[in-house]
A and B are shown apart, each in its own frame.
Chain A
Amino acid sequence: MTAASDARTSSDTAPSANTFDADILVIGGGPAGVWAALTAATQGLQVVLTEKGFVGTGGATAAGNTTMIYAPPQSDLREAAIKRRWAQAHGLADLGWIERVVDEVHLRLNDLADWGYPFPVDDHGRSFLGSLRGPDYLRLMRRRLRKAGVRILDQSPALELLMADGAAAGASGINRVTKETWTVRAGAVVIATGGCAFLSNALGTNGLTGDGLLLAAEAGAVFSGMEFTAQYGIAPAFASVTKGIMYFWATFTDEAGNELPRTGDRQSAIARHLLSGPAYAVIDKASLRLQEGMRRGQPNMFLPFDRRGIDPFTQRFPVTLRSEGTVRGVGGLSIDRHCATNVPGLFAAGDAASREHLVGATSGGGGPNASWAMATGNFAGKAAAAFVTELGPSHRHRRTQAAGGIGLRPDGARDHALNLSELTEAVQNEMLPLDRNYFRTGPGLEASRERLNDLWRAARRGLTSSAQDIAKTRETVAMLATARWILAAAIERRESRGLHRRLDFPQTDPAQQRNLLAGGLDRVWARPAVTHAETPAPIHSREEALAS
């Protein structure tokens, strides 16, 4: 063993108050993470949940509210929901997955009702379980976790994974408040760090910088669906609130007040127009009953308006599009039906995983994504528990090695020219502009790739960090890494499909109806998933029945 790698083994560090042994480590405390932790703890295992922010306010669900797919077994609702998903997936979803997600979510929503989430009752006296308020939902889950004995580490971003003989064996990170480092050794790790929205200020997404994707890639994990990420949310131009639902009842206009031509979806109409000038919206198609429903259902939609003295139902206001990247886009870690990645002991759930199985090439906002997070959190928690049980208690005695590279262990001497805000801006320059990433072209993507490859090489060589900025450093390079997987996959898919719009290949090509894998760190690659092992077989197929 070389001196350098020796210095990274855990046996060199004496156990401290901040070193924990657990059966399962869950990284990320949004819906996917809290369900994974709860499920694993319910199986009698010791679980640590570490969250960059606070379990209750961290992530995209906490700041938004989420529509859920609520469909009781054997109901017409269920059949319709499944058909709708299937029809909108551009041929890349998996029917067996759609069914098991819908059915799992039904059970778990009923759990929430049993645990005392006060669901509203509609005008016909029926409980409505089709929507969850983020802050209330996650606060309830926090209480359940405590009751189940899960150890929660708030304000504690994970910075790198620990590995033991090629298997995930824990992680280490830092507490942002105390600046103390922590280490959790575990038999299995669940990545539930959400997606990556490149600090676009889309609601609740600035903590979502792709950290878990980088950690997993450093362990050798691969991605799928990274090209389906040209997802942008509509927001008032001055505000963060990318809640799209109200715009179903909007009229969009240009500076002069002419209605924007509506070809394609709402986002595309606005995107085309924003390339040349400002766009406006007024929510003028909502009945009074609906207006009241919006106000009393989604209070945060109205904060930007009420606090600026705008009546959105009668006064038009400027709108913009904010990137939601892989958050309401599709791509993420490639997983099998147990939510296992290709790295032993490493599982993924929620937005950190590719949602292609459920939504294909289309955005899963508005019900599917939050349902996916709830269902895969449960699947991953169960599978991780089974993995650890199989491993037996001996996992506690494994020798572990830290897997982190870029920003932690540079190849060369410190490069003083590298600065985190400039690196972030450089990544944003490739990922946020509509003319680069909403409307994509081969040459444009390739030029972006070259620029980011140069940055990666420089950062790999000379980016260092101190206790003060180590978390920010890893966030920055995680965004850089995520952008490069997106670009590789977007270059490889030479057609337009769902959330991937190529101006140079505007048509959908039936021959490319297949998933693309991507991965790599210093050498990033993307290619079709070809071998049998790489394309998980459909769980069971009712495709023909549905097509009829």
Chain B
Amino acid sequence: MIELVSQSRCISCHACVLACPQNVFDSVPHAPPVIARPDACQTCFLCELYCPADALYVSPLAHEHEVVDEQQLIAAGLLGSYARAMGWKRGHPGGTENDLTYRMFEEGLIQP
């Protein structure tokens, strides 16, 4: 579930407030949004893609909250790691041309 809006990175663009499918965030005028409804988070990681500043961290734990440390996440390369793996940059899509999903169908084990 969503655990972090980095106060140092966030540029208060409010993209995440609109883009979260579960309406987890509330806008705050001229300030980073707040995680107003943490328990509504569905652990879909999509807000990380829409954030232009790599300021959000979604813990993979779907049922419990965990305390995270921003510096540790940065050191472990985890802030913004989903967007980087996808090839999204500054909240904009990209990277589908590098999608190697087709390899999963090469062996003929799976046929849609």
Contact residues of A with B, CB < 8 Å?
52-54, 56-59, 62-63, 65, 67-70, 80-81, 84, 117-122, 128, 130-131, 133, 135-136, 139-140, 154-155, 176-177, 201, 203-207, 236, 238-241, 245, 248-249, 289-290, 292-300, 302-304, 306-308, 366-368, 371
Contacts and interface: CB of A to CB of B under 8 A. Distances in A.
A207 B60 CA distance: 18
A367 B112 contact: yes
A240 B43 contact: yes
A119 B42 CA distance: 28
A428 to B, nearest CB: 13
Nearest to B99: A120
Given A240-B44, A290-B103, A297-B103, A57 B111 contact: no
A300 B99 CA distance: 12
B20 A57 contact: yes
Contact of A203 (B44, B102, B110): B44
Given A206-B42, A240-B44, A299-B85, A131 B103 contact: no
Nearest to A60: B44
Given A120-B96, A299-B82, A238 B104 contact: no
A300 B101 CA distance: 12
Interface string B79-93: 001100110100001
Interface residues of B, number: 47
17 contacts: A53-B21, A68-B112, A81-B111, A119-B96, A119-B97, A128-B102, A131-B101, A135-B49, A136-B93, A136-B96, A154-B18, A207-B21, A248-B110, A289-B103, A299-B82, A302-B85, A307-B78
A87 B88 CA distance: 40
Contacts of B18: 54, 154-155, 177
Most buried by B among A140, A206, A294, A295: A206
B60 A307 contact: yes
B4 interface: no
Contact of B102 (A120, A205, A239): A120
A238 B97 contact: no
Given A239-B43, A296-B99, 6 more contacts: A121-B97, A128-B99, A130-B101, A130-B102, A154-B18, A207-B42
Interface string B54-75: 0000111111000000000000
B23 A53 contact: yes
B17 interface: yes
B8 interface: no
A59 B46 CA distance: 11
A303 B60 contact: yes
B42 A204 contact: yes
Q: Which 8 A-B pairs have the closest CB atoms?
A: A367-B112, A293-B103, A53-B21, A297-B101, A299-B85, A206-B42, A304-B60, A240-B43
Contacts of A203: 42-44
A367 B111 CA distance: 8
B43 A201 contact: yes
A201 B42 contact: yes
Contacts of B40: 206
Contact of B110 (A245, A298, A300): A245
A88 B86 CA distance: 34
Contacts of B46: 57, 62-63, 135
A344 B72 CA distance: 58
Contact of B44 (A122, A133, A204, A295): A204
B101 A298 contact: yes
A53 B110 contact: no
Interface in B1-51: 17-23, 27, 40, 42-47, 49-50
Contacts of A295: 85, 100
Contact of B22 (A56, A128, A139, A206): A206
Given A290-B103, A299-B82, A240 B112 contact: no
Nearest to A65: B101
Contact of A306 (B62, B81, B107): B81
B22 A292 contact: no
A84 B111 contact: yes
A304 B61 CA distance: 8
Contact of A238 (B47, B63, B107): B63
A206 B43 CA distance: 10
Given A53-B20, A133-B86, A201 B62 contact: yes
A293 B100 contact: yes
Contact of A296 (B60, B100, B107, B110): B100
Nearest to A204: B44
Given A130-B105, A131-B101, A201-B63, A300 B82 contact: yes
B62 A239 contact: yes
Contacts of A117: 96
B22 A207 contact: yes
B21 A62 contact: yes
